[in-house]
Amino acid sequence: MDAVQTGQRQLKEQDRFPTFRAWGRLLWKEWREGWPILAVGVVLPLLTLPMSGREGWTNSGLDYSVMGLVGILLVLWAADRARRIGMDRGPARQALPVPAPARWIFLHLAPLAIPALVGAALGIMIGAWHAESIPLRAAITAAVLYMLSTFLLATMLSPVLSMIPALIIGVVWLFFGMDLVRWGNVTPLFLKVIVLALVASLLWEAFSRARWVWTGRVVVILLLLTAFVTPGSLRNLTHRPDAEQDQSSFEFPITHTPVVSDDGLQEIEFGQANDEIFSNSVMFYTDDRDRTRFNREFPYFTRPLDYISGNQILLGRQAPGERVVHLSVWDAHTDQVREKGRFSAVKDLLARTVRANFSPDGRYLLLIVQSQHPYSQGPMFLGDLWIADLAHGRAVPVMANVLLPDVENPPMSWTSERLYLSEYNILVELRTLRGRCLKPTDFGRMP
């Protein structure tokens, strides 16, 4: 009987909101658990400051490494402290004799000072390391919000999905946000994640009390996904590409980036003559030397590739579904067109071509083609290098998925046997049609 009464008394005590003394103890507990994270998270970024202004360190990746390490530690701590009671584990936070609201406050809100201070230290580090691209105040704001969102995400997910998924999602978010935080203009996204994480944790409290675990999980995940849904992305779902064309069809639709000569004096704009799918291509050629303009229609899917010499422009045509590419040369001033040759490649090669260059002897054509690798859609340009051998009428890729810093005007040197792409450090053997990176042995013994 005594035991029952004691148990009932304890339950009643649990329902009471904690006293000032209990608040103090809970705060002390948070401090005892969190101070190593705070110490490491603040000291490590600040330690890198002496190296920030030094040129050789700028691209060393030390800032990324520190941000990653500190972030991982924060995610680990967050996911671990919020984990559920499981087998083979010590008592978890749910076992604390405090009512649910106080537990929620001390789980989510009380320790926020730690990620905020860690974020501030990281912000100072980012501001110092990337002073040219982001002001210090913006860097601190972005980094504080970034760390708060990371912490709250892992804290919220740990009881919902268990510790390991929370860790993984937290780490993925960490690496997703790492590039964003350097630009400092992603505050709305971080804020959205913070708010949604707090709302989701409150919802989870309600669902788990009602023992609707799976419903709660689905609701929480869906809620989190809304952070990445923007009005723009919703518009994209219902986007009809033909709608835009309708609006611009009253004039000649220039649909492609113009091809400009190296000296900027010649330019070709091109597009389709009208809205029909297989309408002819129209080239608009402007010569700034004598302010002349020419235009001419060509069969559909013709596009300019390169300036050969004087007023001569190399054109390529590849119809959809066809592997053969037809080459022709257009002399804009005399309006003469002559066939140059053709070669067999893959479908849609010309549609992906961003730069072409003819060898001086006219036998080979280099095509820099946007890679089909998904990474190429991101901030970096991954290209495939193709060489067309006009004597044999074939084209082959000589290198694939090459990171190309400059596709507008890369220096190229053709010899009778080789093509050098200087800035890419690439050498193509024209006899074997194989490409490779340049090696020190290509230049003999070092002096």
Partner 1 sequence: MRRLFWKEWRERRWWALIWTLAILGIALFGGGQTFYGDHLLLTSPLQLLPLAIGLLTGAGAYAGELARSQSVFSRPINRRALLTTKLLMAAVICLGASLLAAVITWCIMPAPYRHLATPANLLSGALGVAAKNWLIYLLGLTGSVVIPGLAGGVLTLIAALLPLVAVTALAELYLPSGFYSFSSEDVSLHQYAVAAGLTFGTWLGITAAGLSITRFAVVLGNDERIKRFTLVFLPLFLLCGLTGVLLPEGVARRLLLHREVGLTYISPTGQYAMVNEVWRPINIIYQPIQYPAPYGDMHYLVRLRDHRHQSLPSMGIAWGDWNWNWHWITDKVACVYILGKERLILIYPDRGIAREVRLPGRLTYLQLSPSPDGRLLPVKVQCNREVSSKNLPEVKHEYYQLLIVLDLQTGQIRGQWEIDNIYYPPYIWWKSNDMLAYRTMKRKSGTKYFSINHR
**51-110: contacts with partner 1 (CB under 8 A):** 51, 54-57, 59-61, 64-65, 68-69, 72-73, 76-77, 80, 88
Binding of partner 1 by 46 (CB under 8 A)? no
Residue 191 to residues 148, 225, 413, Cα–Cα distance (Å): 9, 14, 51
Closest CB to partner 1 among residues 403, 407: 403
Residues 330-349 that bind partner 1 (CB under 8 A): 345-346
Calpha distance 21→130 (Å, rounded): 45
Taking CB under 8 A as the rule, which mask of x and - marks residues 266-305 in contact with partner 1?
A: ----------------------xxxx--------------
Candidate segments 8-16, 36-44, 128-136, 213-221, binder of partner 1 by CB under 8 A = 36-44
Environment class of 151 (CB within 10 Å of its CB; exposed 0-12, middle 13-18, buried 19+)? buried
Closest CB to partner 1 among residues 156, 169: 169
Candidate segments 238-246, 331-339, 361-369, 399-407, binder of partner 1 by CB under 8 A = 399-407
Q: Which amino acid is at 125?
A: M
Closest CB to partner 1 among residues 64, 284: 64
Q: Tell me the CB-side half-sphere exposure of residue 224, using CA atoms within 13 A.
A: 23
DSSP state of 325: E
Residues 129-168 that bind partner 1 (CB under 8 A): 164, 167-168
| Least Å from the CB of residue 75 to partner 1 | 9
Joined tokens for residue 227: 């952070």
Residues 213-252 that bind partner 1 (CB under 8 A): none
Instruction: Kindly determine how many residues on this chain lie close enough to bind partner 1 according to the rule CB under 8 A.
Output: 82
| Least Å from the CB of residue 177 to partner 1 | 9
Q: Can you name the residues that pair with 414 across neighbouring β-strands?
A: 419
How many C-beta neighbours within 10 Å does residue 91 have?
Answer: 8
Order across the sheet with 312-317: list the strands.
302-307, 312-317, 324-331, 336-344, 394-403, 382-389, 364-370, 353-358
Residues 351-380 that bind partner 1 (CB under 8 A): 372-375, 378, 380
Closest CB to partner 1 among residues 6, 425: 425
Judged by CB under 8 A, the residue of 40, 100, 105, 186 near partner 1 is: 40
Closest CB to partner 1 among residues 23, 64: 64
Helices (H), 96-135: 100-104, 113-129
Residue 254 to residues 197, 245, 248, 332, 355, Cα–Cα distance (Å): 46, 11, 10, 19, 18
| Least Å from the CB of residue 179 to partner 1 | 5
Residues 416-445 that bind partner 1 (CB under 8 A): 418, 420, 422-425, 435-440, 442-445
Candidate segments 107-115, 188-196, 325-333, 412-420, binder of partner 1 by CB under 8 A = 412-420
Cβ-contact 10, 91 below 8 angstroms: no
Calpha distance 308→304 (Å, rounded): 11
| Least Å from the CB of residue 383 to partner 1 | 11
Please count the residues of the chain: 447
Closest CB to partner 1 among residues 241, 447: 447
